A and B are shown apart, each in its own frame.
Chain A
């Protein structure tokens, strides 16, 4: 995903001379081609994320379309007030890019587990929050956001995620778009955000489960009309995310479900089952899959209805 991102960014920067990349001493063997091609639109500010975010706001005020780049929690939590106040309150075109969402840096421990940032960021006004699932979504989101007039956050997987095959692959995305991956007969749908998607599609395929899958490259906003349609279509909806249960993607779905109830647009109310991290820090080393498994970020057959199986 990070390769898809930087490749797309270089392509965009060739035609859009407003694009500026700022890094906080990260991006070894990733950002060099950009730095070489566009030295006037590249800066390493050093290990100084607050400075990076504030400086990006200044560049954006002067017309640049700024991408700031680091890993894990560093471009988000480490400079949260600069994001909220300097970038989002001034509604500036700064795109915050974090490589290594969720447990991508599993063994490095909680400093590097980006498992709260979606929740923290999605409550900030003006900010679009995205978590692409694969290189296709990452490139499409990067392209779309490079033209956006306000701020956004892009959570990327670390490396090597394959492109997921899907029923539709629109060339361009809309903000908030919900993407069908596979639609099946069953009464259950899995809503996935970020790089959990591969696990979800593999699990359903391997177990022959007749559930549908939707990918949510945007945690905020989400297309409410499509979402209401999905609420009306499925009896059970399973949300899955590499993030804390409190305040994350599943919570956003619950909020929007309730909004739809309030608005009277629901014919029937689906059951929502949230798969997310249960309000815990995990202090164990291991692979990303290992951390996901001990944190309970897994599907099992009991979650599905008999008619799905």
Chain B
């Protein structure tokens, strides 16, 4: 693992996502930035994927359940060569396949997601299929914190340990903000570690912006075939990387204007 190149990739993800959201006048840059470092580590060093063969049978599956933050995933897929970077210019434009919620019509994207609380049940299905077919891949599901309000997730949190899905790694982008306020004020998730432990998951807690820590944790969570599913609680900052976006509810919605765009780009350089 080369922390320098991964950090560089994370910066490129943020800049690319920012430009996409700016040009398309779309939303959700805050939640794209909070998971950018995690995506950088996943695509740089953790996921077994091949840009020239996106449907490779034994690839690792990454499901972005918080599909509204798609700009960062499209960005990393483009940067990694799953499709030409130029095609990202059409993001959100008339006729483009780059929908502003993640679309499975884009090479490298496993599922469309835009209604929260759908990723994890599908991930359980993929992980179970790997078990039944004796295939080696790992299924990753990247979720948001607000999304944990949805009951569908908790059905899966109950089921996965029952099925012994040790080939499933859930990552929670715990950026502490959802749509109408702070997570602790809407539905407090704490104590979250204990919840998952009580549900019989192996729990890891990390700083979701520390490249080395993300890498060490995700790679060991992926490697351990010990009969239990893994959940990685990543403490993150919504809007991470641009000071006026950090920890601000407004940047769940707002698209940067020209001045904000330039300022943000400057900070990301």
User: Of B93, B112, B146, B149, which is within 8 A of A111 by CB?
Assistant: B112
A78 to B149: give the CA distance in the assembly, Å: 13
CB-CB contacts below 8 Å: B108-159 with A? 112-117, 146-147, 149-151
A46 to B186: give the CA distance in the assembly, Å: 6
- A contacts with B, residue count (CB < 8 A): 28
Query: Is the Cβ of A47 less than 8 Å from the Cβ of B116?
Result: yes
Residues of B within 8 A of A73 (CB): 115
**Residue interface mask B80-120, A partner, CB < 8 A = 1:** 00000000001111111111110101000000111111000
Query: Is the Cβ of A286 less than 8 Å from the Cβ of B149?
Result: no
User: Of B91, B113, B180, which is within 8 A of A285 by CB?
Assistant: B91
Smallest Cβ distance from B92 to chain A, in angstroms? 5
**A244 is an interface residue with CB less than 8 A from chain B:** no
Residues of A within 8 A of B186 (CB): 25, 44, 46
Smallest Cβ distance from B32 to chain A, in angstroms? 14
Smallest Cβ distance from A213 to chain B, in angstroms? 28
Known: A109-B99, A284-B96. A25 touches B151 (CB 8 A): no
Query: Is the Cβ of A109 less than 8 Å from the Cβ of B103?
Result: yes
Residues of A within 8 A of B96 (CB): 284-286
- B contacts with A, residue count (CB < 8 A): 38
**A290 is an interface residue with CB less than 8 A from chain B:** yes
Residues of B within 8 A of A286 (CB): 92-96
Residues of A within 8 A of B94 (CB): 284-287, 290
Nearest residue (CB) in A for B179 is: A25
**Residue interface mask B143-177, A partner, CB < 8 A = 1:** 00011011100000000000000000000000000
Known: A25-B180, A27-B180, A47-B149. A284 touches B95 (CB 8 A): yes
**Residue interface mask B228-263, A partner, CB < 8 A = 1:** 000000000000000000000100110000000000
Nearest residue (CB) in A for B93 is: A285
Query: Is the Cβ of A47 less than 8 Å from the Cβ of B178?
Result: yes
**B24 is an interface residue with CB less than 8 A from chain A:** yes
Nearest residue (CB) in A for B25 is: A107
Nearest residue (CB) in B for A293 is: B94
**B187 is an interface residue with CB less than 8 A from chain A:** yes
Query: Is the Cβ of A28 less than 8 Å from the Cβ of B253?
Result: yes
Query: Is the Cβ of B146 less than 8 Å from the Cβ of A283?
Result: no
Query: Is the Cβ of B151 less than 8 Å from the Cβ of A51?
Result: yes
Query: Is the Cβ of A47 less than 8 Å from the Cβ of B24?
Result: no
**B205 is an interface residue with CB less than 8 A from chain A:** no
**B67 is an interface residue with CB less than 8 A from chain A:** yes
Query: Is the Cβ of B100 less than 8 Å from the Cβ of A109?
Result: yes
A74 to B117: give the CA distance in the assembly, Å: 11
**A144 is an interface residue with CB less than 8 A from chain B:** no
Query: Is the Cβ of B98 less than 8 Å from the Cβ of A285?
Result: yes
User: Of B103, B112, B116, B180, which is within 8 A of A44 by CB?
Assistant: B180
Nearest residue (CB) in A for B117 is: A47
Nearest residue (CB) in A for B99 is: A109
Residues of B within 8 A of A78 (CB): 115
Query: Is the Cβ of B114 less than 8 Å from the Cβ of A46?
Result: no
A73 to B116: give the CA distance in the assembly, Å: 11
Q: List 29 A-B contacts (CB under 8 A).
A: A25-B146, A26-B179, A28-B249, A28-B253, A45-B149, A46-B187, A47-B146, A48-B151, A51-B151, A73-B115, A78-B115, A107-B99, A107-B100, A108-B114, A109-B99, A109-B100, A110-B114, A111-B114, A112-B114, A284-B95, A284-B96, A285-B91, A285-B93, A285-B96, A285-B99, A286-B93, A290-B94, A290-B95, A294-B95
B residues sitting closer than 8 Å to A (CB atoms) are 24, 26, 67-68, 90-101, 103, 105, 112-117, 146-147, 149-151, 178-181, 186-187, 249, 252-253
A residues sitting closer than 8 Å to B (CB atoms) are 23, 25-28, 44-48, 50-51, 73-74, 78, 107-112, 283-287, 290, 294
What are the 8 tightest A-B residue pairs by CB atom distance, in nearest-first order? A111-B114, A46-B149, A109-B99, A286-B94, A46-B187, A47-B149, A285-B96, A290-B94
